[in-house]
């Protein structure tokens, strides 16, 4: 697959975009809309029940043409096809990148090293479904014979953020007599508060860790075992109250969990791409196997769209290209994710790992330092709450912040006029950002001269509006896959490895060393810089 390509900044489309940017940067969205009355309908795309209005972006036909040419010159299609066919495109870890196999229908074949991965996926799914039914029906009994009422997922990063986000997003579909808690932080408060009102004989722990060596997760898992055994007493109780979700059977057995109670996955599932693998066991327990299969079918529908749709109508490609456009040509440093759906309250946090652990890279696949910006900072909160907090800066601050608004035609909780009010705010915010309010308009309202500058909205602030019918398990799958593939598109253009995460290693190593120094009886040698030495010393005398 390794076609020789020019470095990004030397590609014809990149250079043409630089020139083109100089022209379009001075144009206002007001003028672009005035010049093309059909713009609001033309710059839209729809697939798999997701509608994208990207007309309020600072683009014209030429921009789109050049961005699509950039995707072409960057080999996005070839790289996508390599991913789908199981090539080891995560080159620094020599791994295939096959989250798309996690939602491939039974019977499809994707080979890695000659072995069909889809069949393996379905074996695990069936095991998860059987287990979920037993827990949900009360057939599975805890050590003292009581059914399980509480499920505590212990994991961090991708082994936490996806499960938490999906649980919150799909709460409407959950079995309400089961209580779900999620423990991630090594801060003991997280564990203590999660179990404070639970009784061990009705509690099941899911220890979720791809590697089963992650410090935070293993520390919490050991504390959970101590907590459970304090009341259940016998080691034999562990088998009824702990299951593992991991790729590492050896470490699972070492921890004391019977590998019969282990749900496996594979090295080709990246942590941040794992919510639809066995890592999603908490999701399946919460919403049931049928809904979980619907979630997978939603993911798959978006995969098929990404794989087979021409780029000019391809939602993830368009979303990815627009992010590159702002990050590299407008120097936008962030992207705001603004779901107008309370159930999606953890979606921005989930996307932070997906986008920033994937594309926060400073070297190319060949190891050369990039001479362009890569992954922007993703952040956000649900609307309308954000409007009363940080939107001021988006509207009138000095920075350009592209926004993704996400909304639904129907609410899962109809209540008077609430939903119309919510959606009115989506459309109003996107309109206000794009068109603003001129000084003349402000003056015409009779605003005193001295206040006019304060009340002017420059506008020309870009946004996408993403709409769908209602939040269902399938829709959630489509939405997550949309962003997964948008991130992929960005990474392919930036020519970086979107699937490794070496940047998290150094801190882990240093923390292990410092932990020894915090706990040592003897004063440790002052082996760090003067700041770190002093902080360690201060903690030792004050703790």
**What mask of x and - would describe binding to ligand F6P in positions 468 to 497, judged by CB under 6 A?**
------------------------------
**Can you tell me which of 75, 86, 157, 298 binds ligand F6P, judged by CB under 6 A?**
157
**Can you tell me which of 74, 153, 203, 217 binds ligand F6P, judged by CB under 6 A?**
217
Least Å distance, CB 439 to ligand F6P, is 49
- 83-92 contact pairs (CB < 8 A, 24+): 83/488, 84/110, 84/303, 84/307, 85/110, 86/110, 86/111, 86/112, 86/117, 86/268, 87/1, 89/1, 89/499, 90/270, 90/497, 90/499, 90/500, 91/365, 91/497, 92/497, 92/500, 92/502
Does the protein bind ligand F6P through residue 99 (CB under 6 A)?
no
**Can you tell me which of 63, 117, 132, 214 binds ligand F6P, judged by CB under 6 A?**
214
CA-to-CA distance for 409 and 50, rounded, in angstroms? 11
Least Å distance, CB 347 to ligand F6P, is 17
Considering beta carbons, is residue 210 or 419 the nearer one to ligand F6P?
Answer: 210
CB 427, CB 413: distance < 8 Å: no
**Can you tell me which of 85, 92, 179, 211 binds ligand F6P, judged by CB under 6 A?**
211
Considering only residues 269 through 288, tell me which ones interact with ligand F6P, judged by CB under 6 A: 271-272
CA-to-CA distance for 439 and 447, rounded, in angstroms? 10
Considering beta carbons, is residue 211 or 261 the nearer one to ligand F6P?
Answer: 211
DSSP 260-314: GGEEE--TTS-GGG-TTSGGGHHHHHHH-HHHHHHHHHHHHHHHHHHHHS-GGG-
Considering beta carbons, is residue 88 or 141 the nearer one to ligand F6P?
Answer: 88
Nearest partner of 29 among 463, 498, 521, 513, judged by Cα: 463
Least Å distance, CB 247 to ligand F6P, is 8
**Can you tell me which of 504, 511, 526, 535 binds ligand F6P, judged by CB under 6 A?**
504
Stretch that binds ligand F6P, among 144-152, 155-163, 380-388, 531-539 (CB under 6 A): 155-163
Task: Tell me the torsion sign for CA atoms 311, 315, 321, 322.
Answer: positive
**Can you tell me which of 101, 156, 284, 426 binds ligand F6P, judged by CB under 6 A?**
156
Per the DSSP assignment, residues forming a β-bridge with 467 are 51, 407
| Residues ≥6 apart with Cβ < 8 Å to 206 | 151, 152, 153, 154, 155, 243, 244, 245, 281, 282
Considering beta carbons, is residue 357 or 404 the nearer one to ligand F6P?
Answer: 357
Least Å distance, CB 167 to ligand F6P, is 17
| Positions marked catalytic | 357, 388, 508
CA-to-CA distance for 171 and 165, rounded, in angstroms? 10
Considering beta carbons, is residue 63 or 246 the nearer one to ligand F6P?
Answer: 246
**Can you tell me which of 158, 383, 459, 477 binds ligand F6P, judged by CB under 6 A?**
158
CB hemisphere CA count around 431 (13 angstroms): 6
- DSSP state, 409? S
Q: What six digits make up the tokens of 450?
A: 């001295």
Least Å distance, CB 184 to ligand F6P, is 9
- CB count within 10 Å of CB 515 equals 11
Considering only residues 353 through 382, tell me which ones interact with ligand F6P, judged by CB under 6 A: 357
Residue 242 three-state SS: strand
Q: What six digits make up the tokens of 271?
A: 């942590």
Least Å distance, CB 38 to ligand F6P, is 44
Residue nearest to ligand F6P (CB): 271
Least Å distance, CB 161 to ligand F6P, is 8
Task: Tell me the torsion sign for CA atoms 106, 111, 114, 120.
Answer: negative
Nearest partner of 339 among 464, 508, 154, 484, judged by Cα: 464
Least Å distance, CB 90 to ligand F6P, is 12
**What mask of x and - would describe binding to ligand F6P in positions 235 to 274, judged by CB under 6 A?**
------------------------------------xx--
Binding site for ligand F6P (CB under 6 A): 156-159, 209-211, 214, 217, 271-272, 357, 501, 504
């Amino acid at each position: 697959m390794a076609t020789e390509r020019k470095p990004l900044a030397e590609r014809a489309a990149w250079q043409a975009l630089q020139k083109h940017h100089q022209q379009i940067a001075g144009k206002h969205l007001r003028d672009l809309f005035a010049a093309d009355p059909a713009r609001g309908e033309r710059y839209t795309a729809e697939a798999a029940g997701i509608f994208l209005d990207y007309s309020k972006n600072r683009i014209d036909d030429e921009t789109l043409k050049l961005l699509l040419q950039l995707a072409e010159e960057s080999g996005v299609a070839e790289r996508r096809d390599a991913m789908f066919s199981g090539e080891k495109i995560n080159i620094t870890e020599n791994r295939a990148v096959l989250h798309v196999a996690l939602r491939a229908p039974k019977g499809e074949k994707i080979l890695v090293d000659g072995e069909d991965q889809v069949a393996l996926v379905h074996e695990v799914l069936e095991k998860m479904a059987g287990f979920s039914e037993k827990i949900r029906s009360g057939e599975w009994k805890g050590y003292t014979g009581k059914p399980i009422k509480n499920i505590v997922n212990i994991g961090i990063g991708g082994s936490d953020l996806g499960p938490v986000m999906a649980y919150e997003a799909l709460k409407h579909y959950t079995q309400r007599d089961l209580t779900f808690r999620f423990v991630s932080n090594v801060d003991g408060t997280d564990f203590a508060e999660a179990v404070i009102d639970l009784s061990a004989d009705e509690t099941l722990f899911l220890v979720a860790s791809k590697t089963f060596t992650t410090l935070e997760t293993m520390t919490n898992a050991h504390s959970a075992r101590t907590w459970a055994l304090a009341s259940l007493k016998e080691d034999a109780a562990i088998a009824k109250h702990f299951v593992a979700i991991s790729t590492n059977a050896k470490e699972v057995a070492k921890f004391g969990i019977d590998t019969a109670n282990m749900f496996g996955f594979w090295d080709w599932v990246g942590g941040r791409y794992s919510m639809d693998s066995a890592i999603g066991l908490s999701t399946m327990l919460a919403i049931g196997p049928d809904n979980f299969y619907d979630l997978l079918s939603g993911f798959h529908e978006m995969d098929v769209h990404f794989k087979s749709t021409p780029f000019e109508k391809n939602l993830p490609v368009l979303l990815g290209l627009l992010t590159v456009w702002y990050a590299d040509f407008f120097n936008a440093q962030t992207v705001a994710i603004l779901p107008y759906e309370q159930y999606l309250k953890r979606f921005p946090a989930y996307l932070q790992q997906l986008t920033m652990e994937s594309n926060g890279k400073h070297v190319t696949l060949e190891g050369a330092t990039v001479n362009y910006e890569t992954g922007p900072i993703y952040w956000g909160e649900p609307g309308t709450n954000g409007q009363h907090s940080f939107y001021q800066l988006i509207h009138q601050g000095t920075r350009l912040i592209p926004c993704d608004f996400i909304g639904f035609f129907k609410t899962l909780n109809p209540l008077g006029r609430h939903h119309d009010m919510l959606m009115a705010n989506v459309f109003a915010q996107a309109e206000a950002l794009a068109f603003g309010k001129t000084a003349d308009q402000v003056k015409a309202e009779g605003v005193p001269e001295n206040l006019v500058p304060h009340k002017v909205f420059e506008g020309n602030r870009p946004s996408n509006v993403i709409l769908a019918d209602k939040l269902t398990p399938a829709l959630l799958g489509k939405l997550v896959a949309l962003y997964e593939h948008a991130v992929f598109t960005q990474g392919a253009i930036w020519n970086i490895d979107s699937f490794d995460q070496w940047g998290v290693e150094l801190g882990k190593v240093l923390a292990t060393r410092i932990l020894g120094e915090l706990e040592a009886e003897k004063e440790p040698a002052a082996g760090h810089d003067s700041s770190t030495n002093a902080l360690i010393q201060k903690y030792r005398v004050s703790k």
